[in-house]
Structure 1
Amino acid sequence: MEQIKRFLRGKGFALALLACLVAAGAAGVWAVRAVRNELEKSYEELTRPEASSAPQAAVPDTDLKVEDEPWQDVTEAANSVAGVPKAESGAASSGSSSGAVSGAGSVREPSALQGSSAPASSSAAPACAQPVTGRVLNACSGDELVYNKTLGDWRTHNGVDYACAQDAAVSAPVNGKVTAVETDGRWGSVVSIEDGEGRVWRVCGTADVQVKAGDTVSTGQTLGRAGNIPNECTEETHVHLEVLEGDKYLDPAKLIG
């Protein structure tokens, strides 16, 4: 025991401590090298090309062979769905301005367009017209009372008076059927024409009538010549035009436009 104490007091203790330190240092160095080797090994495994790509699941053959079946042409698909006939390569040389090819498989106009007639020319007769070409002498008054110079009283004026020369040609104001040709004590010789909408046009003051009941007339066709109107005989020469829809008087000027 005494020897151990002396040893510890002497150089032996220092040597033993140094040996312990050396052993501890060697163990530390070994541990560091071991950790470094493990890190290098892990890094090498991660950087390998085969390790960076994840394994892929097997794809069925049907998905891989899409390119074996050619894509259907877009034009052919549209034609097959919509039922549109295919255009032939000779269409451009057929001489047709529309580019359509005659015969089976050609593009045709819709039936509604094929049956349509050419637009009417600007010279076509209007639907309604004045019976004479003169100015409006007296307008339709509607429900308003106006003074009648011939009769000397106030009354409604149920038509339009068109001024004209004596014996001027009087024409049909509308297309239609002549329903009556009669002489009225108040309105003189009257030609009544029923139009396609059932309205009756009364052309009053028409002398030397050239049509009869049952005749079909067109706008502008001559009916006779300007004559006398007893109810309005003090006025200058004119033709009195009335339009009846049932029992109701309409303003002729609004229909003629």
Structure 2
Amino acid sequence: MKKLRFGKSKFSGKGFYIALAISLVAVGTATTVAISKTIGDLSGDSLNLPSTSSVSEWGYSDVTKDVDNTKSDIPKVSSAAPSSAPASSQEPVSSAATQAKQAKSNTYAMPVTGEITKEYSNGELVKSETMGDWRTHDGIDIKGDANTPVKACCDGTVKEIKNDPMWGTCITLEHADGYTSYYYGLSETAQVKQDQTVAVGDVIGTIGTTNQLEIAEPSHLHFGMKKDGKWIDPTSVIK
């Protein structure tokens, strides 16, 4: 039997390294080819990317052109402020009762129906038949028998009821607009009370014989009026 002899291989030494280098070159070439093919598959055509014309300048797809921004069933909101209902041009009409009451409150009437026997002197001195001297006559004397009803000359309030030593029983009424009326020489029994509200024509008393300053004259009512605290002629208010 022959002995086997092992000698140096043809790949030993330098030959081995040459073969290794060739293998590495082959692997590198194959890798390069594979990478090139992959890059080709990833090109813009194979991915079907949208063209740059459909991309807005902000980098978002411009899809507004495909959206219908109009909708017919949405109500429009007006920017103007809601207008208020126009005010009525007509003033509310007062009832007939209210108008009659207002007219009545401004009505003045004589407290007694009768002849004026002595007029308002307007600051002038006139002779007193009872006292025999000269003095102003700050009212009017209306002729009337004793116990003749005396009425309020206007709507008002009873301010005072008093018994004066000279003028006798006196009643004072306050009215609107600064007017005050005075009734002198009444009988001692008054038919109203202080602070009582009266209407024009209400009976407040009767003509008496208590007026000592004018007792020498025929029976009458001494009636005076003031406006804002000053004596006035009653006939300038009562027509």
The two structures have a TM-score, normalised by structure 1, of 0.54
Task: Show structure 2 runs of 5+ residues with no match.
Answer: 1-82
Give the superposition deviation at 1:126.
Answer: 7.0
Matches within 5 A, 1:146-225: 146-207=126-187, 208-225=189-206
Q: 1:234 aligns with which of 200, 208, 216?
A: 216
Q: Closer, same or farther in 2 for the Cα pair 1:244/1:125, shift >3 Å?
A: closer
Give the superposition deviation at 1:110.
Answer: 4.2
Task: Show structure 1 runs of 5+ residues with no match.
Answer: 1-82, 84-107
* Structure-2 separation of matches of 1:215 and 1:133: 24
**Structure with the bigger percentage of helix:** 1
Q: Closer, same or farther in 2 for the Cα pair 1:124/1:250, shift >3 Å?
A: closer
Give the superposition deviation at 1:248.
Answer: 1.7
CA contact (8 A) 1:125 1:220 kept: no
* Structure-2 separation of matches of 1:211 and 1:151: 31
Q: Which whole-Å deviations, capped at 9, do the CAs of 1:198-227 have from their partners, x for residues lacking one? A: 222111112220111110011110011101
Q: Closer, same or farther in 2 for the Cα pair 1:124/1:179, shift >3 Å?
A: closer
* Structure-2 separation of matches of 1:159 and 1:176: 19
| Partner-residue secondary structure (3-state), 1:256 | coil
Structure with higher Rg: it is 2
The two structures have a TM-score, normalised by structure 2, of 0.57
* Structure-2 separation of matches of 1:142 and 1:199: 17
Give the superposition deviation at 1:174.
Answer: 1.4
Letter in 1 for 2:136: T
* Structure-2 separation of matches of 1:222 and 1:152: 33
| Partner-residue secondary structure (3-state), 2:177 | coil
User: What is the percentage of aligned positions where both structures have the same residue?
Assistant: 32
| Partner-residue secondary structure (3-state), 1:127 | coil
